[in-house]
């Protein structure tokens, strides 16, 4: 099934898979011929399931009855060699029924393949004997084989990640992918679970459709990963397009049970993407569709499909595992029901509703049951959750206190709340109690900085915030603010502005008093204030501290924002939070609290006692390396005669030595200059002060080609990313600080700070402090600058000269995006 075939070029989805299966079967039947009884050719694995794609290998078993072994070997040669000659991949074996069963007993993957076997040609009775033997054996040995299946699932997740949360998901191997659907069918084959329902089957069809087009684009290569660069091409074929009269937003997916697609929420949010025909039966390639291919809508649908599959595996395996455990111990004649809360009980390791519970008359039962499940660390039983989805009364507006308290109690359980919220989400209950959730459901965040979809990021942020509930005076507002801080990302315009509008409605609906609603709105409005101020501005600048204090208005909001900033960062991704960032935010909060308490702005003077002592040292040149309390961070101190371009040379030397600058400041006195830089050692090696000193001296004496070495390093370590077009560098001025601030945004590359500082020196501007931050694949640097006489940089012409010099320095010889 290699290469292209014009007769298949117009087929997409299920029709394409059916055509490929039929073509493969026809060729194999012709090769098999009419050898008589006692021989059978079986297709196993994906080909056995009728799910081939371009480039799929043929997985075949030639079965014989034991008497015709020699005939089978001769027949195999007549089948295998033509397949190999055609360049088609082949996984083959020749077995008797007993041999095939024995192989399946010792090889889990072989057993799973045989569970999906089907007869292509030959002796039907012989094939039936094998299939019945394999399935009977699978059921009989379920207690041993199914835990192996779960372990294999866990290993795939560890190795391949999750379909829903990867920029370039492996549609087959990753959690929530096609392998997990096969695992669900294997559970059903053991008679311990129901076959996958319609939602899972729809998710499977979508993943198969996308995989088919990925393979087509790859020219039949063995590729199951949806690459970002292929997103638009796949979206175009499968019918995911953006209407010409609106922005690109994903439509609701039918995979979610219809409660999104059927509602008006998406339309109200500005949705304009059309989900194509790929969700079920497949279609021919469409032409003349309105608008442009929408890879975002495609990614949204893939994420939703992956979450549907992974959640179904979790709840199904939980019940299966409980059943397997119960087989090994005595069970009473009647199930034991342990009360957990009013109307909520535990039975057989699941949360169920009490016999007298009435979801239609008890609006707080839903959040109460969810909180009970999270507190107990056990799943909501499928019967309970289906009954709640069917019968639960709508929460009144405003919510009763008991319902809000139960919902907050759910969030307070931290990580235990996430699977419960996922369960509510998968059956439509989360959107029912919080309609504004619909636009963020499975919404991708298409950058390497964010690990999760928007909705899962919100759940993870609430879970991280739960770790700090004892450190704030209003833990309920911390948890609700964490869950809702990015709720505006599913709506048009700036997500913070949209979130504020939403909170003006959500807060009163939750039954919160106006003062509490104001706090939640302030948390949404300023949820980026502390990380942005601490990492993009100088926390020693009185203007920065006063601006933060004025924005938050009070100590309660400030302390809530501090914990939200940590929770938000930790829920974003592994690079978004560090001890260095925590210390910067902590220092900023401490100083802002002092201002809010009526005290003076607590900032150091122009020169600290330590800086005066360093400037008084007799050494002409000196480099010190001092460990900072943050892991992998060091302070680099450079003392030298005042020299134009000293900061540029130092920045270049540090970059050559693979030290990433986070903050750098320059001070001077009596013709001497003191540079202090906080750096991260990217490879875990402590910087060598002697080497740095030698490099700085050579640089100052023009004996070190800093620019040339950085360019060579950049070329050697560049990573080609054709799906990403780097944005043009930008330099803008900000007069909110105590001195002129130049903010520079540009694609990250080796030595970017060196280029900026050198450009500033070339136009006669002094850098007092540099604040360096990397966001994803871009840098956002702030430079506190002065004229040589210490005055501000003013005047349109002068500022244009400075900005143009920086942009020109960054825009020359733009390379491929470098590794972080």
pLDDT of residue 283: 38
> How many whole angstroms separate alpha carbon 565 and alpha carbon 563?
5
309 falls in which pLDDT band (50, 70, 90)? very high
Q: Is residue 761 in some structural domain? A: yes
- CA dihedral angle for residue 112, residue 203, residue 233, residue 293, rounded to 10 degrees: 180
For residue 686, the tally of other CB atoms under 10 A from its CB is 10
Domain count, the chain: 3
Percent of the chain predicted with pLDDT > 90: 64
Q: Token pair for residue 270?
A: 């500005």
**506 vs 331, residue with greater confidence:** 506
> Hey, what are 621's tokens?
């040149």
Please measure the distance between the N-terminal and C-terminal CA atoms of the chain and give it in whole angstroms: 40
Residue 672 has pLDDT above 50, yes or no: yes
Residues 372, 593: Cα–Cα separation, whole Å? 38
User: 814 vs 492, which has greater pLDDT?
Assistant: 492
Q: Scanning the structure block, which residue is given the tokens 């009144």? A: 396
Alpha-carbon span 254 to 277, nearest angstrom: 11
Query: How wide is the angle at C-alpha 42 spanned by C-alphas 40 and 47, nearest 5°?
Result: 160
Cα(93)–Cα(125) distance, rounded to whole angstroms? 19
Say yes or no: 633 and 765 in one domain. Answer: yes
Q: Are residues 30 and 78 in the same domain?
A: yes
Q: What integer pLDDT is reported at residue 341 of this predicted model?
A: 94
Average pLDDT (288-292) is 57
43 contacts 59 by C-beta, under 8 angstroms: yes
How high is the pLDDT of residue 329? 55
Range 655-678 average pLDDT: 86
- 184 pLDDT higher than 80: yes
Coil, strand, or helix at residue 508?
Answer: helix
Dihedral, CA atoms, 252, 258, 264, 270, nearest 10 degrees? 0
Residues 772 and 630 in one domain: yes
β-partners of residue 41 are 62, 121
- In this prediction, residues 584-605 reach a mean pLDDT of 89
Amino acid 333: pLDDT: 56
230 is a domain residue: yes
- Tell whether the model's pLDDT for residue 261 goes beyond 50: no
Over range 395-408, report the average pLDDT. 95
Least confident of 163-172, 199-208, 512-521, 674-683: 674-683
Q: Contact 558/478 with Cβ under 8 angstroms?
A: no
pLDDT at 258: 29
- Structural domain containing residue 220: 165-177+192-312
Can you tell me the mean pLDDT for 35-46? 94
What distances in angstroms separate CA 436 from CA 491, 507, 515, one per listed residue? 10, 12, 22
Cα separation of 805 and 759, whole Å?
6
Please name the residues in contact with 651: beta carbons below 8 A apart, sequence gap of 6 or more.
661, 664, 677, 751, 753, 754, 757, 770
Strands 58-64 and 90-95, by their bridges, are parallel
Do 169 and 119 reside in the same domain of the chain? no
Considering the domain boundaries, does residue 128 fall inside one?
yes
Asked if residue 755 and residue 722 are part of one domain, the reply reads yes
pLDDT in tens, 493-511: 999 999 999 999 999 999 9
DSSP label at residue 775: E
Residue 795 has pLDDT above 80, yes or no: yes
> Which of 312, 341, 375 lies at the terminal end of a domain, its last residue?
312
Find out whether 725 and 526 touch, Cβ atoms under 8 Å: no
* Cβ(523)–Cβ(481) below 8 Å: yes
Segment among 135-144, 168-177, 394-403, 727-736 with least mean pLDDT: 727-736
* Domain contains 297: yes
Greater pLDDT, 339 or 220: 339
Backbone φ, ψ for residue 540 (5° rounding): -85, -10
CA–CA gap between residue 184 and residue 190 (Å, rounded): 10
Q: Is the pLDDT of residue 226 over 70?
A: yes
Q: What is the pLDDT of residues 756-781, one digit of tens each?
A: 999 999 999 998 888 887 765 678 88
Give dist(CA 660, CA 693) in Å, integer: 17
Query: Is residue 34 domain-resident?
Result: yes
DSSP string, 603-660: ---SS-HHHHHHHT---SSEEEEEE-SSTTEEEEEEEEE--TTHHHHHHHHHHHTTEE
d(Cα 302, Cα 442) in Å, to the nearest integer?
9
Q: Which CATH number do you get for residue 54?
A: 3.30.460.10
Q: What is the pLDDT of residue 264?
A: 27
DSSP, residue by residue, 205-228: HHHHHHHHHHHHHTTT-S--B--G
- What DSSP element (H or E) covers 452? none
Q: Is 243's pLDDT higher than 60?
A: no
Q: Is the pLDDT of residue 680 over 50?
A: yes
Same domain? For 169 and 116 the reply is: no
User: Taking all residues of the chain, what is their mean pLDDT, rounded to a whole number?
Assistant: 87
Residue whose token pair is 């660390």:
377
Which residue has 């998406």 as its token pair?
A: 266
694 within a domain of the structure (yes/no)? yes
Domain check: are 761 and 630 in the same one? yes
The pLDDT of residue 266 is above 50: no
What pLDDT, on the 0 to 100 scale, is given for residue 263? 27
Given 252, 278, 312, the domain boundary residue is: 312
pLDDT of residue 643: 78
Residues 644 and 727 in one domain: yes
> Tens digits of per-residue pLDDT, 81-130?
999 998 888 999 999 999 999 999 999 999 999 999 999 999 999 999 99
Structural element, H or E, at residue 808: helix 796-811
Contacts of 501 (CB under 8 A, 6+ apart): 488
Residue 764 lies inside a defined structural domain of this protein? yes
Structure tokens, 219: 């020219």
State whether 120 and 212 are in the same domain: no
Q: For 623, phi and psi rounded to 5 degrees?
A: -130, 125
Tell me what the mean pLDDT of segment 170-176 comes to.
96
pLDDT of residue 573: 86
Q: Which of 282-286, 386-390, 563-567 has the lowest mean pLDDT?
A: 282-286
Domain termination residue (choose one: 294, 312, 330): 312
Query: Which of the residue ranges 28-42, 328-342, 623-637 would you say has the lowest mean pLDDT?
Result: 328-342
Whether the Cβ atoms of residue 215 and residue 221 lie closer than 8 Å to each other = yes
pLDDT tens figures, 426-452: 999 999 999 999 999 999 987 777 889
Q: Does 262 score more than 50 pLDDT?
A: no
Reduce the DSSP state of residue 661 to 3 states and report it: strand
Which pLDDT value is given to residue 249? 40
Average pLDDT over residues 623-627: 92
Q: What are phi and psi of 162, to 5 degrees?
A: -120, 135
Token pair 């294997």 in the structure block, residue: 186
Specify which residues 786 forms β-bridges with: 766
**Residue 159 is inside which H or E element, if any?**
helix 142-160
Residue 88 is encoded by which pair of tokens? 């088609």
Alpha helices in 353-428 (DSSP H): 365-376, 382-391, 401-411, 417-426
Q: Are residues 803 and 699 in the same domain?
A: yes
- 331: in domain: no
Average pLDDT over residues 690-696: 92
Distance CA 345, CA 374 (A): 13
Are residues 759 and 644 part of one domain? yes
Whole-number pLDDT of residue 777: 64
Q: What is the pLDDT of residue 594?
A: 94
Per-residue confidence (pLDDT) for residue 257, from 0 to 100: 34
Checking if the pLDDT of 248 tops 70, the result is no
Q: For position 432, what pLDDT does the model report? A: 94
Residue 716 has pLDDT above 70, yes or no: no
**pLDDT score of 72:** 94
Where residue 344 falls (left for φ over 0; alpha for ψ -120 to 50; beta otherwise) is beta
pLDDT category of residue 322 using cuts at 50, 70 and 90: confident
CB neighbourhood size of 589 (10 A): 23
Same domain, 25 and 135: yes
């Amino acid at each position: 099934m290699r290469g292209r075939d014009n007769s298949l070029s117009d087929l997409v989805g299920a029709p394409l898979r059916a055509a490929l299966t039929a073509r493969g079967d026809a060729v194999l039947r012709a090769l098999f011929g009419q050898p008589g009884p006692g021989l059978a050719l079986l297709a196993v694995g994906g080909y056995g399931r009728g799910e081939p794609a371009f480039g799929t290998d043929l997985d075949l078993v030639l079965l014989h009855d034991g008497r015709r072994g020699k005939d089978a070997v001769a027949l195999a040669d007549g089948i295998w060699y033509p397949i190999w000659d055609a360049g088609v991949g082949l996984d083959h074996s020749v077995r008797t029924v007993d041999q095939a069963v024995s192989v399946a007993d010792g090889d889990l993957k072989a057993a799973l393949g045989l569970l999906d076997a089907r007869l292509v040609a030959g002796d039907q009775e012989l094939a039936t004997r094998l299939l019945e033997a394999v399935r009977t054996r699978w059921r009989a040995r379920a207690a041993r084989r199914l835990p192996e299946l779960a372990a294999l699932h866990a290993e795939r997740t560890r190795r391949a990640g999750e379909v829903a949360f990867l920029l370039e998901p492996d549609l087959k191997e990753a959690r929530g992918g096609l392998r997990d659907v096969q695992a669900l069918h294997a559970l059903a084959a053991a008679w311990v679970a129901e076959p996958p329902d319609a939602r899972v089957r729809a998710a499977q069809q979508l993943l198969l459709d996308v995989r088919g087009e990925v393979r087509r684009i790859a020219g039949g290569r063995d590729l199951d990963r949806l690459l970002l660069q292929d997103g638009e091409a796949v979206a175009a074929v499968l019918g995911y397009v953006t209407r010409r009269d609106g922005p690109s937003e994903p439509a609701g997916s039918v995979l979610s049970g219809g409660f999104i697609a059927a509602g008006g929420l998406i339309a109200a949010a500005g949705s304009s993407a059309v989900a194509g025909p790929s969700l079920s039966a497949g279609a021919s390639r469409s032409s003349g569709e309105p608008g442009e291919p929408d890879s975002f809508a495609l990614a949204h649908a893939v994420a939703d499909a992956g979450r549907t599959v992974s959640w179904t595996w979790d709840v199904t395996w939980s019940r299966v595992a409980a059943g397997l455990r119960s087989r090994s111990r005595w069970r009473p004649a009647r199930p034991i029901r342990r009360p957990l809360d009013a109307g909520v009980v535990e039975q057989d390791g699941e949360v169920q509703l009490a016999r007298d519970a009435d979801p239609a008359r008890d609006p707080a039962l839903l959040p109460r049951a969810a909180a009970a499940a999270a507190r107990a660390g056990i799943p909501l039983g499928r019967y309970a959750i289906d009954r709640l989805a069917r019968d639960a009364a709508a929460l009144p507006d405003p919510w009763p206190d008991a319902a809000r308290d139960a919902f907050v109690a759910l969030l307070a359980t931290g990580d235990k709340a996430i699977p419960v919220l996922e369960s509510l989400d998968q059956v439509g209950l989360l959107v029912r109690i919080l309609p504004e959730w619909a636009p963020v459901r499975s919404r991708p965040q298409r950058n390497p900085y964010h690990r999760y979809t928007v909705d899962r990021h919100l759940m993870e942020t609430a879970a991280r915030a739960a770790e700090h509930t004892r450190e704030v005076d209003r833990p309920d507002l911390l948890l609700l603010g964490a869950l809702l801080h990015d709720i505006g990302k599913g709506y048009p315009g700036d997500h913070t502005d949209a979130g504020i509008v939403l909170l003006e409605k959500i807060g009163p609906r939750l039954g919160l008093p106006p003062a509490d609603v104001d706090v939640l709105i302030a948390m949404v409005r300023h949820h980026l204030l502390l990380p942005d101020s601490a990492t993009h501005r100088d926390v020693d600048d009185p203007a920065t501290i006063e601006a933060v204090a004025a924005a938050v208005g009070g100590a309660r909001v400030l302390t809530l924002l501090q914990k939200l900033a940590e929770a938000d960062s930790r829920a974003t991704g592994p690079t978004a939070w560090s001890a260095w960032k925590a210390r910067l935010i902590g220092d900023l909060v401490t100083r802002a609290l002092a201002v809010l308490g009526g005290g003076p702005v607590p900032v150091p003077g122009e020169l600290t006692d330590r800086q005066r002592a360093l400037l008084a040292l007799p050494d002409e040149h000196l480099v010190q390396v001092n460990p900072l309390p943050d892991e992998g961070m060091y302070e680099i101190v450079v003392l030298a005669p005042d020299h134009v371009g000293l900061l540029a040379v130092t920045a270049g030397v540090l970059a050559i030595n693979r030290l990433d600058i986070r903050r750098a400041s320059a001070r001077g006195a009596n013709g001497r200059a003191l540079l202090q830089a906080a750096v991260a050692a990217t490879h875990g090696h402590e910087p060598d002060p002697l080497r740095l000193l030698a490099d700085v001296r050579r640089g100052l004496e023009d004996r070190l080609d800093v620019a040339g070495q950085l360019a060579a390093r950049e070329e050697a370590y560049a990573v080609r990313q054709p799906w990403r077009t780097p944005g043009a560098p930008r330099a803008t001025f900000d007069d909110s600080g105590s001195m002129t601030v130049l903010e520079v945004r540009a694609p990250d590359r080796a030595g970017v700070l060196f280029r900026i500082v050198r450009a500033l020196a070339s136009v006669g501007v002094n850098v007092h402090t540099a604040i360096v931050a990397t966001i994803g694949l871009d840098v956002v640097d702030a430079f506190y600058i002065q004229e040589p006489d210490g005055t501000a940089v003013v005047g349109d012409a002068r500022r244009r000269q400075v900005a143009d010099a920086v942009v020109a320095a960054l825009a020359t010889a733009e390379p491929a995006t470098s590794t972080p």
